[in-house]
Structure 1
């Protein structure tokens, strides 16, 4: 039951002759990596101890499965908000606050567990509080990587981050199970694990407090409001087909695979008659497989496409679910889970890197927040369903149903391709012309604003132009337009007009900052098909609101004409 979102195991297609450990020579990244590794071990120890404590507090498979929901639901509810805040506010301060939140949540849970004043619902509540902090922390935590190391070291950096999380996933569950089993009272063992996890957050806070952050980019414009930032993030997702494909693959995979994570403790205790150490070993087997995948995935990607990796992983996990449902041999299950952990990491890292590479920097944290919402939404909703089925029938029925569902939906999911074709260049494009100056005494937040662009296109270029302009439609809408249209003059068919609407003049200025090199290629293709002595004429118009007492001295002008 992962309490953290899947780590980035992405390695962009860059030939790197280094040994892979160069980022560790940078003191700031090295301190962050060590602190993160220790904290991740504590997180996975808590995962095992918390789930096993729940099996001691109740025999209900539904309540046990709800531990997965308590871990995943905060991301489902807060992922978009977390991404928006990480793109708006100082990420260092945000990270310190949410790390302190998690420390306090786990610390209180440890005290309550030590004194034995803990119930199933209290355990679920504090697990939920802990993962509120995790949900709000993760987009900012992932988005700071380019601020810590040079761009050329990012492939090695994300590989080291993956190794950190997967090493913790392999070691943490076994250590957690061993510590719980080492005490006569499960409350003492679980409380000790919770206390150690609380201490682990202190190390991360210390690193963040000593970090003198220098942002890579700081807009000259006022920051977006949170609601507007969330809307712009959702608008980007709506008009980004590549990102949508990644989200569909993430949800369909995690929804069914969540049965493995949410019911593993039930299988260990009821079907295999294992104690906390046995459960920790089973959970750690998934982590061991993840470590193997993290060290070999670079070579696997060189031989197989992303779609082939996802297909193999999906079909293998159908087998894993059936083995968990019907096989009662711990050794067979351990071997099966090791490969399942490798398949899990291969799939989630491949989807994760497809998200990273499909979005520009200005919306990166919001895209990651959307991805985490989708990922954990599948985990949370799936855990509820499989726990409910196991509660009212059996774990065998629940796991078999999940296996059948994963197999049946596979033909649908494989229609959504990821990481196909050349990667877009998301380098920010520097506009050659300054933004037009408003002629009216107008507040930049006033709107909506209509931008109108007139083109002259010969009849023989009409088909090519419409293809290019509809590609530009996606750029306009992703960058902030709320409406878009292209119109052909009914009298003069060579004259076409592109119109798009922004919520405010400030949003239009933001859209200019958001243009990437790939976007500019599309814009240049459209402009090249315009044939006239003058460039396309652009008009900017602000909505004319009714004024009770108009000021006579104001100019009656309501539009600005300029070059695009």
Structure 2
């Protein structure tokens, strides 16, 4: 058996493997810059607001203004990113963001800044970031071979959460040195860097063999996939709870720095710098932690430790103690948030990855925005330290809940199946029907051995989830009254073209579920498949 140190070293090596590829490094750098700009915009705006008005609520609303575009535009942006060339989509948006950042810079330099103008500018930058975020999070799989995809996704999630640490620290430093003008100059610089990185790679993703969906259909398909994928639910729930409770530290830290420690923008940058250094340390600690602890234990430990960090902030401990707590908090936040993100990524095939990640963003930013508004509102009756204390209690309760409902890694394979439910590769082009003919009912009959009925029904339940998430509008299993061992599966799709998409999306795991059904059938009785198209009736 391999010793623990060697296992840790092996985990470390495998974690950094994709970074040996030049195209992946370009993607990693560009997406890191893009997400860092997100937090520079959000946290820098909150810091500026704390200097413009003493209201904790207005300071917390900056985070809300930055997050609302993700809530409103995230799902359409994810659908578009799954339908178009993601690289070109990102280049178009980044060009627009560069122009917007330069205009904002001129506005701030020559017209000054009011609290309302700051909220509007923060929201404007947030729109551009929201439109491209799902595409940016999904492109990692386009520049690495399939066997490196899980590690690439983990690095992508690390990049997302590392930016959550580096961005606020950078915002504090820039504001301390150059004020609002420096903030928007930094945003313009990041847009330019992302544009440069986008010219350094080309997509090698496997393309769909059928025509793309329309936008509304793609939106429904993404939400349907997540709804009918039980493996997606727990990472999203853990993320929502973790971010709602943890958002108090992020939203109220500028106010705490000003009121409890009498620190200006540079002092706030010091607190954020401690958090940022801790987060970078978490990046390098993560491989060793993953090699020694299971995913459920890491998530529980991260949540519990961050509860303690939030409690230290609530106590307004001596500055040195607070800085140490923020170092630890940055590390555990990085590790916990990254692994929750990676757990969701593991459940998503490429055809719906951007849409699934847009739903993650919706959950993430809804939790951060709603949490920020909640804890900001609680400062009125409870004070800043009281609101932080309540957040620490909620975080501790979340850690207890995560022990009861642990987060386990996905075991599904999203490799495209080499055969279909028809037994071999069915041509995906339209055959006799027209592509838009429909709705279509697919009917599959099974003769089940009586002693295997319960096992068959349990296996059929998993097949039902698979059909629905791959595009079926309706799925049911029926039993023939006159032939008790005969079960009939029926599912409906919008059109014959949707049927070909449904087949194109079939993964090895989906096919294995159907193969399991055959284990419970009467020997020699194969499933019988029929197709039924809706018939237009003549008018009276």
TM-score over 0.5 (shorter chain): yes
User: Partner of 1:547 in structure 2?
Assistant: 538
TM-aligned CA deviation for residue 155 of structure 1: 5.8
User: Partner of 1:208 in structure 2?
Assistant: 198
* Larger displacement relative to structure 2 (98-107 or 78-87): 98-107
User: Partner of 2:120 in structure 1?
Assistant: 125
User: Partner of 1:197 in structure 2?
Assistant: 187
Q: Does 1:254 align with 2:237?
A: no
TM-aligned CA deviation for residue 401 of structure 1: 2.0
Pick the aligned partner of 1:279 from 258, 262, 268. 268
8 Å contact from structure 1 (residues 242, 418) kept in 2:
no
Q: How does 1:379-458 map to 2 (within 5 A)?
A: 379-420=368-409, 423-431=411-419, 432-435=424-427, 442-458=433-449
* Larger displacement relative to structure 2 (443-452 or 153-162): 153-162
Structure 2 counterpart SS, 1:144: helix
Pick the aligned partner of 1:55 from 26, 29, 50. 50
Query: Could you say if the C-alpha distance between residues 332 and 483 of structure 1 is closer, same or farther in structure 2, counting changes exceeding 3 Å?
Result: same
- Aligned equivalents of 1:343 and 1:313: distance in 2? 5
User: Partner of 1:3 in structure 2?
Assistant: none
8 Å contact from structure 2 (residues 82, 352) kept in 1:
yes
- Aligned equivalents of 1:14 and 1:84: distance in 2? 39
TM-aligned CA deviation for residue 33 of structure 1: 4.0
TM-aligned CA deviation for residue 152 of structure 1: 4.4
Q: How does 1:155-554 map to 2 (within 5 A)?
A: 157=152, 173-182=168-177, 189-209=179-199, 211-214=201-204, 216-420=205-409, 423-431=411-419, 432-435=424-427, 442-531=433-522, 533=524, 535-548=526-539
TM-aligned CA deviation for residue 26 of structure 1: 3.4
Gaps of 5+ in 2: 1-7
Q: For residues 460-482 of structure 1, what are the alpha-carbon distances to aligned partners after superposition, in whole Å with 9 as ceiling and x for unaligned? A: 22222222222211111111112
TM-aligned CA deviation for residue 406 of structure 1: 2.7
User: Partner of 2:5 in structure 1?
Assistant: none
User: Partner of 1:111 in structure 2?
Assistant: 106
Structure 2 counterpart SS, 1:103: helix
TM-aligned CA deviation for residue 43 of structure 1: 5.3
8 Å contact from structure 2 (residues 169, 276) kept in 1:
no
User: Partner of 1:7 in structure 2?
Assistant: none
* Larger displacement relative to structure 2 (65-74 or 146-155): 146-155
8 Å contact from structure 2 (residues 101, 188) kept in 1:
yes
- Aligned equivalents of 2:138 and 2:157: distance in 1? 15
- Aligned equivalents of 1:93 and 1:256: distance in 2? 37
User: Partner of 1:560 in structure 2?
Assistant: none
- Aligned equivalents of 2:450 and 2:81: distance in 1? 48
8 Å contact from structure 1 (residues 451, 540) kept in 2:
yes
Query: Could you say if the C-alpha distance between residues 54 and 221 of structure 1 is closer, same or farther in structure 2, counting changes exceeding 3 Å?
Result: same
8 Å contact from structure 1 (residues 248, 413) kept in 2:
no
- Aligned equivalents of 2:76 and 2:37: distance in 1? 26
Q: For residues 328-376 of structure 1, what are the alpha-carbon distances to aligned partners after superposition, in whole Å with 9 as ceiling and x for unaligned? A: 4221111111111111111111111111111222211111111111111
Query: Could you say if the C-alpha distance between residues 297 and 229 of structure 1 is closer, same or farther in structure 2, counting changes exceeding 3 Å?
Result: same
TM-aligned CA deviation for residue 21 of structure 1: 5.4
Q: TM-score, normalised by structure 1?
A: 0.87
8 Å contact from structure 1 (residues 72, 379) kept in 2:
yes
Structure 1 counterpart SS, 2:478: strand
- Aligned equivalents of 2:457 and 2:155: distance in 1? 46
- Aligned equivalents of 1:359 and 1:510: distance in 2? 16
Structure 1 counterpart SS, 2:263: coil
Q: TM-score, normalised by structure 2?
A: 0.90
Structure 2 counterpart SS, 1:394: helix
Q: For residues 168-223 of structure 1, what are the alpha-carbon distances to aligned partners after superposition, in whole Å with 9 as ceiling and x for unaligned? A: 6665545543443345xxxxx22123113202211211232454434x22223211
How many pairs does the alignment contain?
A: 529
8 Å contact from structure 2 (residues 242, 398) kept in 1:
no
* Larger displacement relative to structure 2 (249-258 or 305-314): 305-314
User: Partner of 1:561 in structure 2?
Assistant: none
* Larger displacement relative to structure 2 (147-156 or 494-503): 147-156
TM-aligned CA deviation for residue 80 of structure 1: 1.7
Q: Does 1:68 align with 2:63?
A: yes
- Aligned equivalents of 1:348 and 1:17: distance in 2? 19
Structure 1 counterpart SS, 2:212: coil
Q: Once superposed, what is the RMSD of the aligned Cα atoms?
A: 2.7
Q: How does 1:5-154 map to 2 (within 5 A)?
A: 18=13, 23-36=18-31, 44-154=39-149
Task: Report which of the two has the higher share of helix.
Answer: 2
Query: Could you say if the C-alpha distance between residues 439 and 336 of structure 1 is closer, same or farther in structure 2, counting changes exceeding 3 Å?
Result: closer
TM-aligned CA deviation for residue 439 of structure 1: 7.5
TM-aligned CA deviation for residue 229 of structure 1: 0.8
Q: For residues 405-445 of structure 1, what are the alpha-carbon distances to aligned partners after superposition, in whole Å with 9 as ceiling and x for unaligned? A: 3334444444433225x7211110023142598786x4322
